A = this chain, B = another copy of it.
Amino acid sequence: MKDLKILSRKSEEDSIIVDVNGLKIGGNSIVVIAGPCSIESIDQALEIAKAVKSFGAAIFRGGAFKPRTSPYSFQGLGVEGLKILSRVRDETGLPVVTEVMDTRDIDVVLKYSDILQVGARNMQNFPLLKELGKIRAPVILKRGFMSTIEEWLLAAEYIALGGNTNIILCERGIRTFERMTRNTLDLSCIPIVKQLCRLPVITDPSHATGVREIVKPMALASIAAGADGIMVEVHNDPDRALSDGFQSLTFSGFKDLMDGVVKISRAIGRGIAGCLS
């Protein structure tokens, strides 16, 4: 990969550990990011945030600007959602992450969120990547569901070239012919990315599979494969979620997942980042 320079493992620099208000991503501890697909209300967001924190999540996730296939689907609460996120952070102490889709929205998202997420559909939105290179806040860069590992790492290099190396890669499934899962979680990418690149890498088994029942085994497999963390969807009432309810874990499902995550992490000599540690 000749054009991977700043982020290349072959450079003389060390692995990059991303610092989020003191929480380290990419070190020896596994980071768990949890929350609903969409922020729906302050009550919903707070209830979920408190629950996932109590079970060991280190970061709260929730969508305000939602990229939806159909223009007639719920498009997210927008700035109102960002304000709710920010209140959740204040009340729980959890750092928060949310997606930014438009170069014009970076400032407002930065105002309310600790980490900015680039979604799969925007992985090669080059103007957005270039703007994110100018900030210093951490960026979660999801792999496009149609993108090769090489394209993904070069998308990260776009951000790094602008001066921001606070990047966390996130595998969220690639599009294949298989129809029993929404996408195919490509766990092979984890050791490959680790060989080529200095960035931390996590996975999102909820979006990858689209099937609640297999989120836990895919989370455990991610950690066994060497991922630095996972991001999962959790909802207080999945059947009534405004988006992606069928893939969201219930609170008890999330508790069960965390039990497994702790065991697998220990087996490979890693701890859990954040409030449990």
Interface of A toward B, CB cutoff 8 Å: 3, 5, 67-73, 101-105, 121-122, 124-128, 144-151, 154, 157-158, 161, 174-181, 184-192, 195, 208-209, 211, 213-214, 217-218, 220-226, 260, 263-264, 266-268
A255 to B200, CA, bound (A): 27
Shortest CB-to-CB span from A186 to chain B, Å, is: 5
Complex alpha-carbon distance, A220 and B211, angstroms:
22
Residue of chain B at shortest CB distance from A119: B124
Check B192 against A148 for contact (C-beta < 8 Å).
Answer: no
Q: Is the beta-carbon distance between B180 and A177 smaller than 8 angstroms?
A: no
Q: Name A210's closest neighbour in chain B (CB-CB).
A: B188
29 intermolecular pairs with C-beta atoms under 8 Å apart = A5-B72, A67-B126, A68-B126, A104-B127, A122-B125, A145-B146, A146-B146, A148-B177, A174-B177, A176-B186, A177-B177, A180-B192, A181-B188, A181-B192, A185-B188, A187-B187, A188-B211, A188-B214, A188-B218, A190-B217, A191-B218, A192-B214, A217-B224, A217-B225, A221-B225, A224-B224, A264-B267, A264-B268, A266-B267
Interfacial chain B residues near A184, Cβ < 8 Å: 174, 176, 184, 186, 188
Identify A226's interface contact among B158, B217, B226, B264, CB under 8 A: B217
Interface centre among A68, A181, A188, A209 (most CB of B within 10 A): A188
A107 → chain B closest CB, angstroms? 13
Closest beta carbon of chain B to A121's beta carbon, Å? 4
Nearest Cβ on chain B to A78's Cβ, whole angstroms: 11
- Specify which chain B residues have a CB less than 8 angstroms from the CB of A224 in the assembled complex: 217, 220-221, 223-225, 264
User: Do A146 and B148 touch across chains, with their CB atoms under 8 A apart?
Assistant: no
Pick the residue among B121, B151, B217 that contacts A69 (CB under 8 A).
B151
A67 to B3, CA, bound (A): 15
The 4 closest A-B pairs by CB, nearest first: A146-B146, A267-B267, A224-B224, A102-B127
Q: Report the minimum CB–CB distance from A267 to chain B (whole Å).
A: 4
Which residues of chain B are within 8 angstroms of A150 by Cβ–Cβ distance? 69, 179-180
Q: Contact check: which of B146, B147, B263 meets A268 at CB < 8 Å? A: B263
Residue among A5, A70, A121 facing the most chain B CB atoms (10 A cut-off): A70
CB distance from A127 to the nearest CB of B (A): 4
Residues of B within 8 A of A157 (CB): 70-71
Q: Do A180 and B104 have beta carbons less than 8 Å apart?
A: no
Complex alpha-carbon distance, A70 and B124, angstroms: 10
Whether B225 and A218, one on each chain, are in contact in the complex, defined by CB atoms closer than 8 angstroms, is yes
* A127-B101, A223-B224 known; A149+B186 contact, CB < 8 A: no
Q: Are A72 and B190 in contact (CB under 8 A)?
A: no
- Distance to closest chain B CB from A1 (angstroms): 9
